[in-house]
Every structure is written in structure tokens, then in C-alpha cells.
Amino acid sequence: MIRQRPLHVLWTLCLLLALGACSQDGHAQQAQDRAGVRPDSTQEPSRGSVALPDFVPLVREYGDAVVFVEVRQSARSRLSSGGAAEDPLLEFFRRFGIPNPEQFGEPSPAPVRGAGSGFIVSEDGYILTNAHVVENADVVTVRLTDRREFDAKVIGTDRGTDVAVIKIEARNLPTVKIGNADTLEPGQWVLAIGAPFGLENSATAGIVSATSRALGGDSYVPFIQTDVAVNPGNSGGPLFNMNGEVVGINSMIFSRTGGYMGLSFAIPIDVAMDVRKQLIETGRVVRGRIGVTIQDVNAQLAEVFGLDKPRGALVSSVEPQGPAAKAGLKAGDVILQINDQPIERANELAVAVAKLKPGTQAVLSVWRERKERELQVTVEQMQDTSEQRAATMPQAQREEAKLGLAVRPLTEEEKKELNTDGAILVERVTSPAAEAGVQPGDIIVGVNGVTVQSIEQLRKIVQDAPKTVALLIERGGAQVFVPVPTK
């Protein structure tokens, strides 16, 4: 016989059972929480949380367009091409805070090797890298991610921006996508790919710390500052935004140890692409100048000159008879704007003027005697220096490819002054001519027993030579034959 229980008793039993189940579930949840386990790890993040970026698709799509650049240069070649102080390999060490390896003794006669990174910008083999990576190197080798290796030709270098263009003979190569550095803002995620310490195709990420950073010296670059881990070997590699676009070329770090310390700097890609275009098309980089020395305006100077806040470029000196002097600019003027571009810091004016084509008229908004006025200045061309080199230079310079020589014709005045019958002056020397003993300032009188009177005649004889040519060199009034192997 089944006994019937009152309804309120049944409800009481059900309630007790339910409370027991909840207690067990609560204890189980607490245990899982203590162990760091969540029952459903696929649930959406709570409102207000931020998901970290996923760089895998970016690296997968564009990593193959990043290359390893290896350079070789002999000690003798380094000294012949301007001395250790101007050696790009030692410049490489300096930029990364590493002690000069030659300060502890004499240069080693063995070839010195260096390495950096680069990235392919066209399917037919044009590559961007840093000037300090490849400048004056005897041999440049590019290695792709599929381990193919190519000898690279240095199309041109520009120390003013630390940008170089090199070329390999290949087709259908993977390329990067070019972005716009002007859209960058502090706090944005960026990714670097390169070969730190020779570890090829290493990816490191961080954020943009600042834009338009001035680093002094003779640079015409408004640097992108990041906290991306960049080390020796990353030099010349690309800096990507989260859209997979290259926005900069990793160029240098600030360091007390030689390693990464959270301060890395990249050249904006628009600056690099402008240099690339000029080097390929004309063989040199043309910049504008107006002939002034400028500095930043700090709070104290702003108060002295009656400015509402620190801004503009303060003119500290004006070149006599220069463009600025002719336009009426004076020391003590503060340039607040050039054409339609406001100037907040001095480096912004330097960059803006450098971009202008020589011969153009620029309108300057100038603060003088607590009033703003306008002056018109005609931009002149900045004089070429040894800081620029291009393989597309005039024919007089192209013998580097065969002999390791850069030469030019002597003028009639120079011939009289030097009292020589020679017609060709050696301006720069790399291997193999440097290893044979040829030096800058030597005069080439003849080749293989034939007197040469022109660059074209020299080029033809060298071009037809199978292995070695005998250069008749005049130095200090004496002449000597120097055998030089052709490349």
C-alpha cells in the first residue's frame, strides 16, 4: 500500500534537493576557477575587454617578400673608399650602439661580412634596404625565404635618408603592399620582419610610440618611433601596419648595450619610395635648400619672441647671398608656415624644403617683431655630396662594375696643374682594384700598353679583356703598371 505524503512535504523535499544541487555546482565552479579552467573557453570576451591582434595572416602573406641581405667588404677596400670612419659596416655598428670592432687593433686583412634585411617592391627584383647596409660593399648577396640566392646590384644609395635600392635578376617575385605612413598614430599596432642577429624572417610586434621624430644630424627623415623589438640585422626590413601594408623601413635603435631597449626608429615609406623613384630614374636624389640654419622654439624662446606657444623654426643664421638672404629672411625670424604646411618643429621645415624642386617659389609665413608677415623665397638645389651614389650615374662612373673603379675625365685646368698627360682621374675604389693597390687620386694613363684619352676608350678595352687588365697608373709624378682582375 502506498502512503500519500502531504503536498507541502513534497515541496519541501524538492526544495532541499535543488539547494543541494546548486551547492555542488557552486563548489565545482569554485574549484574550476581556482584551477584556471573555464567550462566554455569559446565564449565571447566580456564587454570592455580587448582582443590582441593576430599577426599570422600578415606574416603568412607577406613574409616571403622579406629578404636576407649579406654584404662583404675587404679591409683594404674600406680604407681606400674613405677610411674606417666612413665605413658602412662600422656605421652599422654605430647605429646599434655596438663598439667599433677596429678600435681594439689594426683592421684585419680578411674580408668583413655584414648582414641586414630588405623587402621586394617589384616583381622584377627591385628591393629596398638601408644605405648603411650595402654602401661601398664589394659583394651584395640576397637570400629569399625559399633559400634561393642572388647577386644583387646596388642601384643607388642615399645617406640623407639612409635608403638604398638594390636589384636582383629574377621574375615573378613576391612583393609587399605599400601603405601610407601619414595615417599612423601613436598606439597603433605594427609588425617588423627581418633577420636580427642573422635569424632570418623573424617577426616582432609592438606599437607606434611617436611619429615625425627628429633625430638630428643631416637626416631629412621624420622618423617613426616604435617599441618593436629591433636588433642588428633588422636594419632595412619592413615595418607593417595591421592592414599588411609597409609603412616604414626599420633603420636604427637607441641603445646603451647594443641590443634592443624599447626605442626603435623607421623611415616613413613615402620618403623611401620617393628616394627609390629618383635613384632609378635619374641616378641621384635632388633636394631643395634655402640657406638657413634653424632650431626648435622652446617655451623660453616663445616668450622672448612673443609667440602664443612654442612653435615654428627659429632662424639662427642666414647664408650670405643665399636664397633666404635674397628673400629678406633674417636671424631671429621664426618660420611658422611654408606654403600651406604649418611648421611646429624645425625638422618639419627641413623636410618640407628638401622635398621642393629647385627653382620653385615657396611662400614663408614669418614671425618678426611680434607680427606675422609673408616672404617669397626661390628654392635652390642642394649640392651633391659623396653621401649619394648611384649605379645609374653618367657613363664616366660605370667602370666600378668591372674593375671596382669610379672615374671621371680630368679638365684641361687640372691637367696643367698636375702636369700630366693622363686624362682619367680615379675618384673611388672598391675591389678588385683596391686589392690590387689602386687608390683614389690616381691618374689612369693607359690600359694594356695603350694610352687612353677618354672614359669610353677605357670602358671598351676593359669590356673586351678576358681576365685581367694592366692599368698604367700615375701617382706623385711616377708611373707604374698595376694588374687588376676584371669581375
Concatenated DSSP letters for 340-393? TEE-SSHHHHHHHHHHSPTT-EEEEEEEETTEEEEEEEE-EEPPP-TTEEETTS
Query: Which residues constitute the domain of residue 230?
Result: 177-281
Instruction: Classify residue 99 by its DSSP letter.
Output: P
Encode pLDDT of 303-353 as tens digits.
888 999 999 999 888 888 999 999 999 888 999 999 999 999 988 999 899
**412 inside domain:** yes
pLDDT confidence of residue 435? 81
Cell of 429: 675604389
Domain stop point among 149, 167, 185: 167
pLDDT confidence of residue 37? 39
**Single-letter residue type at 69:** V
Cell of 150: 642572388
Q: Are residues 261 and 182 in the same domain?
A: yes
**13 inside domain:** no
Q: What is the CA radius of gyration of the chain?
A: 32
> Distance (Å, rounded) from C-alpha 335 to C-alpha 327?
13
* Closest listed residue to residue 382, CA positions, set 144, 191, 160: 160
Domain of residue 238, CATH code = 2.40.10.10
Domain of residue 374, CATH code = 2.30.42.10
- Positive or negative CA dihedral for 70, 73, 79, 82? negative
**4 inside domain:** no
**51 inside domain:** no
Q: Are 372 and 365 in contact (CB under 8 A)?
A: yes
* Closest listed residue to residue 398, CA positions, set 230, 203, 155: 155
Encode pLDDT of 167-214 as tens digits.
999 999 999 999 999 999 999 999 999 999 989 999 999 999 999 888
Q: Are residues 181 and 273 in the same domain?
A: yes
**434 inside domain:** yes
Pairing of the two strands 177-178 and 245-253: parallel
pLDDT confidence of residue 392? 34
Residue 253 or residue 166, greater confidence: 166
Residue 82 or residue 316, greater confidence: 316
pLDDT confidence of residue 406? 84
Q: Are residues 266 and 357 in the same domain?
A: no
Q: What is the largest CA-CA distance in the chain?
A: 139
Residue 270 or residue 219, greater confidence: 270
Active site residues: 132, 162, 235
**131 inside domain:** yes
Q: What's the whole-model pTM score? A: 0.64
**458 inside domain:** yes
pLDDT confidence of residue 21? 47
Q: Are residues 479 and 464 in the same domain?
A: yes
3-state helix, strand, coil split of the chain in percent (to 5) is 25, 30, 40
> Distance (Å, rounded) from C-alpha 228 to C-alpha 236?
14
Instruction: Classify residue 236 by its DSSP letter.
Output: T
Q: Are residues 163 and 192 in the same domain?
A: no
Domain stop point among 133, 167, 201: 167
Q: How does the average pLDDT of the chain come out, rounded? A: 80
The pLDDT > 90 percentage for the chain reads 44
pLDDT higher than threshold 80 for residue 31:
no
pLDDT confidence of residue 295? 86
Alpha helices, DSSP H, located in 54-164:
56-62, 75-80, 88-95, 131-134
Domain stop point among 113, 138, 167: 167
Q: Are residues 136 and 160 in the same domain?
A: yes
Q: Are residues 267 and 292 in the same domain?
A: no
Q: Are residues 181 and 140 in the same domain?
A: no
**52 inside domain:** no
Q: Are residues 96 and 157 in the same domain?
A: yes
Q: Are residues 152 and 209 in the same domain?
A: no
Cell of 40: 566554455
* Total domains in the fold of the chain: 4
pLDDT higher than threshold 90 for residue 120:
yes
Q: Are residues 131 and 67 in the same domain?
A: yes
Q: Are residues 86 and 104 in the same domain?
A: yes
